[in-house]
Amino acid sequence: MYNKQLFKAMLVAHESSPNDLADVINKRIDAVYNKINGKTEFTRKELSLIKSHYGLSIDEMDAIFFAR
């Protein structure tokens, strides 16, 4: 399970919207909303694209996507 609040905060901090994220991971907006709402998971490739595009550190990725 990922930390939805940290994820949304990261998007806000980068002045990014779900539509922008859809472009980053090359998915339709409905698929992005399913991922944001926890209905489907982000793939490794998508996580890699997110990390690269938003310049996230490994610690930031861990906090957002590998929350306990």
Place of tokens 């472009």: 23
List of domains in the chain: 4-65 (1.10.260.40)
**By C-alpha distance, which of 56, 51, 28 is closest to 36?**
28
Q: How high is the pLDDT of residue 15?
A: 97
- 64 neighbors 10 (Cβ within 8 angstroms): yes
Label residue 68 by pLDDT band (50, 70, 90). Answer: low
Torsion, CA 63, CA 51, CA 27, CA 5, rounded to 10: 30
Question: Which tens digit of pLDDT belongs to each residue from 20-64?
Answer: 999 999 999 999 999 999 899 999 999 999 999 999 999 999 999
Query: Measured between alpha carbons, how far is 48 from 8 in angstroms, rounded to an integer?
Result: 17
